Amino acid sequence: MDAAAHCDALLRQRDEDRWLAARYAPPPLRRRLTALYALHSELRLIPSRVSEPPLGEIRVQWHRDALTEIRAGKQPRAHPIIEEAAAADIAAEALAPWVDAAVDASARPLYGEGYAGADDLFAWLRAAEGAVDAAAVAISGGDETLCIVAQETGAAFAAAREGRVIAPDIDWKERADALWRKAKPVLRVAPDPCAPALAHLFLTPAYLKRGAGIFPLVKRLRIFSAVAFAR
């Protein structure tokens, strides 16, 4: 399996929402989005793969160094996700603020400290999740304003999808709903090329209502509707 196919298969298994949305992008953009999301999925999996935080920190630093080397023009490390990140230009300097934020944020879950409150939770989600959505919009040609909106909405989407598990003792639902309602009018008029980078965010209301229990067909219809009609 080549690097692109590896990333596609990995993303489909670990983050079906973003995988489904990226299917609506033309092939060159789809490849870049898939590479970005696969890197993100790999980072989020680190805490479950190590027994102690220092071992996880080593893995986070490994990814950080690998991206830095690509930006310096060096040969990418022999790892399919890193190879595809290089081939799809995910380590581009223009994306560095977003991508590096996601890399840095991936270390926090290693320590299992929880969150001090909604402000703390959403600050982390903006970096760990929303920054990836901002980078996806940038890849798709969106402007800085739309990137910021995507970052905020990405935090709301992640809270709606995962908040019951990662922050069960925090009242995050009202904050996530408010962020979604504020962002929705902006997302509905986003440029068409950005739709595949934004479509999964339209699942936020369903996750707020049902948690992880969205029927697969409903999920697919909602993402199609978001791409086709921005709703």
Burial class of residue 96, CB neighbours in 10 A (0-12, 13-18, 19+): middle
At 186, is the pLDDT very low, low, confident or very high (cuts 50, 70, 90)?
very high
The per-residue pLDDT for 161 is 96
Locate 183 and state its tokens.
């962002």
Domains and CATH numbers, the chain: 3-229 (1.10.600.10)
Residue 74: DSSP 8-state: P
Q: Can you tell me the distance from the alpha carbon of 138 to that of 27, in angstroms, rounded to the nearest whole number?
A: 17
At 230, is the pLDDT very low, low, confident or very high (cuts 50, 70, 90)?
confident
Q: What pTM did the predictor assign?
A: 0.96
Q: Can you tell me the distance from the alpha carbon of 59 to that of 46, in angstroms, rounded to the nearest whole number?
A: 7
Locate 206 and state its tokens.
């369903």
